[in-house]
Amino acid sequence: MVKILAIESSCDETAAAVITDGYRLLSNVVATQIPVHQLYGGVVPEIASREHLNAVVPVVRRALDDANVKLSDLDAVAVTKGPGLIGSLLVGVSYAKALAFAAGLPLIAVHHLEGHMNAPFLEHPELEFPYLALVVSGSHSGVALAEKPGYYKLLGQSRDDAAGEAFDKIARALGLPYPGGPAIQQAAREGEPVYDFPSAWLEGTYDFSFSGLKSAVLNFLNQKQMKGEAYRVADVAASAQEAIVRVLAAKAVRAAREYGRDTIVLAGGVAANQALRERVQELAPEMRVIYPSPQFCTDNAAMIGAAALGKFARGEFADLSLNAEANLPLYFYA
């Protein structure tokens, strides 16, 4: 039985997990920094890096304890090498390399988005390549073809804000808490999408743009305020969510049809959005739509472990000069 310790620290969650054959999780620990960053209305990179340094030892130790394994029982240490916040990534990468070196274990480097795209295997080990993946989080929005393990082709991505970032910024403007995605989803349940905010369709591409939507919502709120007109936060939330969801869902489904894929995988924190899940299935009733439970949508180390299992089997190891990379393209990334 292969046992891999995985470490993830690309944004504001310090996470560690132990995974074994068949995508079986032996432990999964996430220390979130959300309460710290809520004071600032979003992730502060320097503070995130500081928190990771304090959390990394206890989080990894707890993952080993929960799995009831010792370092000497492990076969490899896997870590997210990027993309993400460089200071945050460096803590996980430095720690993982040193731990692997001191314990005499091989090191595996994982692309953060490959992790997200492999998250569905944790609950659907029978899932098979190829599939279409819509990866949507606070820092990424992309449509990708998952061809085979380790091979992914990005068809399009956001040209400005990520979908989750748009949720965060709109939530802040509405006086809703960080992170914005869950807050807007919650508020939208009480509202109707009565306002027609713009979606950027960028026809002929699988790219996204959400900065125009953010500006439209801010202008709307300013005008309402200047004119002294009332509006319902729930309706604005529902309308903004609709503008984000319809374009994400439409492009994912269009890409799946164009490339003849019968399975769509939703991944990343925004994949926890109920409206997005329902819309994709509505638009593509003939397709299998798979999304992880919320705990595997947001950043976690289990998904890094899931991607690492394949790399271990293929003998894809990193050496001790591994560096963290803030920007890391996903194009037939192996």
Binding site for other proteins (CB under 8 A): 39-40, 44, 46-47, 49-50, 52-54, 56-58, 60-61, 71, 86-87, 90-103, 319-324
Nearer to other proteins, 59 or 144 (CB): 59
CB of 16 to other proteins, least distance (A): 12
CB of 324 to other proteins, least distance (A): 6
CB of 30 to other proteins, least distance (A): 17
Nearer to other proteins, 92 or 150 (CB): 92
Residue from 74, 299, 273, 295 nearest 171 by CA: 273
Nearer to other proteins, 39 or 226 (CB): 39
**How many DSSP H helices and E strands does the chain contain?**
11, 10
Residue from 64, 91, 70 nearest 8 by CA: 91
Long-range CB contacts (< 8 A, 24+ apart) of 219-225?
A: 220/195, 221/173, 221/174
CB of 92 to other proteins, least distance (A): 8
Nearer to other proteins, 32 or 323 (CB): 323
CB of 113 to other proteins, least distance (A): 21
Instruction: Name the token pair of 127.
Output: 């899932």
Nearer to other proteins, 100 or 143 (CB): 100
| Dihedral angle computed from the Cα positions of residues 30, 36, 40 and 42, in that order, rounded to the nearest 10 degrees | 0
Q: How far apart are CA 82 and CA 113, in angstroms?
A: 8
Count Cβ atoms below 10 Å from residue 175 Cβ, excluding itself: 9
